[in-house]
Amino acid sequence: MYDTEVMKPSNTGKLIADIVPDTYAFLWSRTQENPEMLAILNDPQWQPYVVFPQQYAQPEREVFCNEMTVPSGKRPLFIMLDGCWREAKKMFRKSPYLNQFPIAAFDPHLLDETASTSRYQIRVAEENYQFATAEVAARVLAMAKEPINAQLLDQWFDVFSYQYQKSVCQSNRGDPEALNKYISFAEQHNIPLKG
C-alpha cells in the first residue's frame, strides 16, 4: 500500500481482507525493502503474481491475461499495488524485487459488459481501464477460478460504495439494494457473515 492510501476512507484495498483470510498488507517504500514481505514472496508454498495492466510489462516478462495457470503444489499469491493510479505505477516501476514474478492482468474489453467498466464512483479515474483495487482483486479471483469469492468481493465492494457515498452526503450513485444482495448471496452459498 502506498503510505497515503492507508489513511483514505475511500480506499477499497482493505475490503479484500474482509473476504480473503490469507491477506497480508504492507506499506510500500521506495528505499527500504520489507523483510517480512520478502519472506512471504520467497515462501515456496506461494506462486506470486504482480497484478498490473499487461501494457506495462517488459517484453520478456510472463503475462497471464484473463486466465492463468498455477504450478502444481503452489498457491497463487496476488500482489496488489494499492494506491491511486499514479502511485501504483510508481510502485510497479520502483520495486525491482517484483520483476521476477509474472503479471496477472485482465483485458476489460474481453470481459462481459458488467465486468468491463468500473463501478467505483467515489473518485474519478483518468482512464476507463482504471478500476478500484477491490474490483481488480475480484476479477483476479475469477481468473484464479474462485468465482464465489470473486462475486462475494464484488458485492461487498458495492455495499462499501453505497455506504461510503451515503456517509459523505454526496449524490449517491451506488446500489441501495447492495447490502441485501450481499447477504442473500452469502446465505445462498453458506458463507458466514462477520459482525
pLDDT confidence band for 10 (50 / 70 / 90): confident
Q: What is the mean pLDDT of the chain?
A: 86
Report pLDDT for 92. Answer: 95
Residue 4 has pLDDT above 80, yes or no: yes
Residue among 76, 87, 81 nearest 26 (CA): 81
Mean pLDDT of 46-75: 92
Residue range 133-177, pLDDT digits in tens: 999 999 999 999 999 999 999 999 999 998 888 888 667 778 889
β-pair type (103-105, 63-65): parallel
Report pLDDT for 85. Answer: 84
Residue range 15-43, pLDDT digits in tens: 999 999 899 999 999 899 899 999 999 99
Mean pLDDT of 39-55: 95
Report pLDDT for 106. Answer: 84
Report pLDDT for 117. Answer: 60
Report pLDDT for 152. Answer: 95
Report pLDDT for 164. Answer: 86
Report pLDDT for 110. Answer: 59
Report pLDDT for 189. Answer: 93
Q: Where are the domains of the chain?
A: 5-146
Q: How far apart are CA 44 and CA 5, in angstroms?
A: 30
* Whole-number Cα distances in Å, 118 to 46, 81, 121: 29, 17, 8
Q: How far apart are CA 133 and CA 91, in angstroms?
A: 14
Tell me, what amino acid is at 179? L
Q: How far apart are CA 147 and CA 150, in angstroms?
A: 5
Report pLDDT for 89. Answer: 92
Exposed e or buried b per residue across 117-135, where buried means at least 16 C-beta atoms within 10 angstroms of its C-beta: ebbbbbeeeeeebbbbbbb
Report pLDDT for 94. Answer: 95
